[in-house]
Amino acid sequence: MSDKIVQSAHFDYTGSKLGMWLFLFTEILLFGGLFLLYAVYRSLYAQDFHNAAQGLSTALGAINTIILLSSSLTMALSIVALRQGRIKYSIVLQTITILFGLAFLVNKYFEWSGHIHEGIYPNSPELLSRSHGEILFYGLYYVMTGLHGIHVVIGMAVIAVVLSFTARGTVSSESFNKLENAGLYWHLVDIIWIYLFPLFYLIT
């Protein structure tokens, strides 16, 4: 191929970032549908939502918020470390980020199983005996935190892949774009939680 063609001769950093941001938009819209449902049903059943929210543990939610916020910090630091050429340090930070993700999921697991134990899960007799708003509140709770949980898993997988690239040297202080994009994705996952937390645990 002739070297006269510039476009592909070197990697387009801005293009890659643009693509990533566009992708994040689509994720926000995906959750947007659920936020819309939340808004509609909250306005229809404000009192029921208030009652139902008492059933969620603010402490567990707060712990998960702290975990995710910290993981965003380690993620950001790992990028700084990589750009400074401190590969080992970056690898450690990426690993910690994944572990934070895992901790989040473990916590979530206990939270969910607690509710299920109490007999509160979609279509359960216990839940169906409650008011309409509470049924919908818990429906939204399971679906929104569930979809978010799936995103946490995907995020962890993406970081793991980039981690292996970093170990092999394909992601490096010259070429840190993949790690940055993985970071952007992780921050998105974080931000969505930042909205879920108050909507389900704080405002009652």
Partner 1 sequence: MENNFYHTPGRYSGIFGWIFSTDHKRIGLLYLGSIFTFFLCGMLLGLAMRLELIAPGRQFVSAQTYNALFTVHGVIMIFLFIIPGIPATLGNFMLPLQIGAQDVAFPRLNLMSWWFYLFGAVVVLTSLFTGGGPPDTGWTFYVPYSVRTGTNVSLAVFGVFLLGISSTLTGLNFITTIHRLRAPGMTWFRMPLFTWSLYATAWVQLLATPIIAITLLLLMVERSFSIGFFDPAKGGDPILFEHLFWIYSHPAVYIMILPAMGAITDIIPVFSRRIIFGYKAIAFSSIAIALLGYLVWGHHMFTSGMSDFSRMIFSLLTFLVAVPSGIKVFNWVASMYKGSIQLDSPMLFTLSFIFLFSIGGLTGLLQGALATNVHVHGTYFIVAHFHYVMFGGTVFAFFAALHYWYPKMFGRLMNEKLARIYWLILFTGFNILYFPMFILGWQGMPRRYYDYLPNYHTGHLISTIGSWILATGVLLMFFNFFRSLSRGEKAGDNPWNGATLEWQTTSPPPTENFESTPEVTKGPYTFR
Binding site for partner 1 (CB under 8 A): 1-2, 4-8, 12, 14-15, 18-19, 22-23, 25-27, 29-34, 36-37, 40-41, 44-45, 122-123, 128, 131-133, 135-136, 139, 142-143, 147
Least distance in Å: CB of 38 to partner 1? Answer: 11
| Residue number with CB closer to partner 1 (70 or 124) | 124
| Residue number with CB closer to partner 1 (27 or 91) | 27
- Nearest C-alpha neighbor of 98 from the set 70, 59, 130: 70
| Residue number with CB closer to partner 1 (95 or 177) | 177
Please give the structure tokens belonging to residue 129: 């005996």
* Helices and strands (DSSP H and E) totals, the chain: 7, 0
Least distance in Å: CB of 99 to partner 1? Answer: 29
Least distance in Å: CB of 126 to partner 1? Answer: 14
| Residue number with CB closer to partner 1 (136 or 158) | 136
User: Are 28 and 189 a contacting pair, CB within 8 Å?
Assistant: no
Rounded CA separation 156/94 (Å): 10
Least distance in Å: CB of 135 to partner 1? Answer: 5
Least distance in Å: CB of 46 to partner 1? Answer: 13
| Residue number with CB closer to partner 1 (31 or 104) | 31
Q: Return all residues near 67 (Cβ < 8 A) that are at least 6 apart.
A: 100, 103, 104, 107
